[in-house]
Homo-oligomer: A and B are copies of this chain.
């Protein structure tokens, strides 16, 4: 087992990564401070892991709530059902909420914890690659609004994160690939050696090689923990983690939440960000093509949905949380492993990227 620390002063917490952690008695239990907990999970994960997790919680009096699966459930209405359950079962301020699932379950459960009785403890038990390498770490919680993704939420840190790499074996192929998109992101942002490692090992990762996946989760969590510790509330450097997300969120909102998986939209979004960086002359076209090639080998979409026009993108990106003074801020690349934040992007070049379709990152 690997133990990392997210260093946030009094809000610091550990990330445990390893095999067989979910059912390990004594691992999660010390992080539940009261006598009761509510496990929030979904219909896909519950049959696989709920009993195992409850077993590991020993004397904690555990209730559970099973949500439908999918991004379309990440709404204020679903949040209301968590509050209803907590109150109907008379959970007090001393309760702990445990998110057992992927990013949707983690985000909505974290937000419920941030706001139930003005804040109760919570624990992240991510069961997808995407949530293990990204969304479970760093305290971003929230729900979607019809006009924009993650528009309602809070920064609220968990007591701990338990990433059991065994669960990745049960992950559908499509979900595994979506998670690899966020893994590749860390390489592109600021870790060129890791990007190169991914180029060498992408085939092994895609067939679920346990050792390789554990290594990818570890490096990703190290990156995330370091960046979050430097900038918890995204005043600066943390925004780099949104590489591909401005384009990606627009895709998710346009297609209807859940039609494209988040990682898929981010995959295409990263190709678009890379393309725009190349058009700006910040990245040579070979490097851009290299980024696209890795995402393509990972089985991710490398072009936006054919039905989306440049106007669709412009309209939806105007709602992005990173918009400042009406200007869209993009995360772009000054080289592989060298992401930067940029507001003043030339409109003509942006238009070219939005219209490039299947020809992104090509001469």
Contacts and interface: CB of A to CB of B under 8 A. Distances in A.
B155 A87 contact: no
Interface in A267-301: none
A194 interface: no
Contact of A147 (B87, B111, B151): B87
Contacts of A76: 76, 79-80, 83
Given A87-B151, A92-B324, 15 more contacts: A76-B76, A76-B79, A76-B83, A83-B152, A87-B148, A87-B319, A92-B323, A92-B326, A93-B323, A94-B325, A115-B142, A117-B152, A117-B321, A118-B142, A119-B155
Copies of this subunit: 2
Interface of A: 35, 76, 79-80, 83-84, 87-88, 90, 92-94, 111, 114-119, 140, 142, 145, 147-148, 150-155, 233, 318-319, 321, 323-326
B115 A152 contact: yes
Contacts of A142: 115, 118
Nearest to A327: B92
Nearest to A36: B325
Contacts of A90: 318-319, 323
Contacts of A94: 324-325
A88 B325 CA distance: 16
B119 A152 contact: no
Contact of A154 (B35, B79, B80, B119): B119
A93 B155 contact: no
A230 to B, nearest CB: 18
Contacts of A319: 87, 90
A154 to B, nearest CB: 6
A256 B340 CA distance: 53
Contacts of A148: 87
B87 A145 contact: yes
A116 B83 contact: no
The 5 closest A-B pairs by CB, nearest first: A87-B147, A118-B153, A117-B321, A92-B323, A115-B152
15 contacts: A83-B152, A87-B319, A92-B323, A93-B321, A93-B323, A93-B324, A94-B324, A94-B325, A114-B154, A115-B154, A117-B151, A117-B321, A118-B142, A118-B154, A119-B155
Contacts of A117: 151-153, 321
A185 to B, nearest CB: 20
A363 to B, nearest CB: 37
Contacts of A84: 145, 147
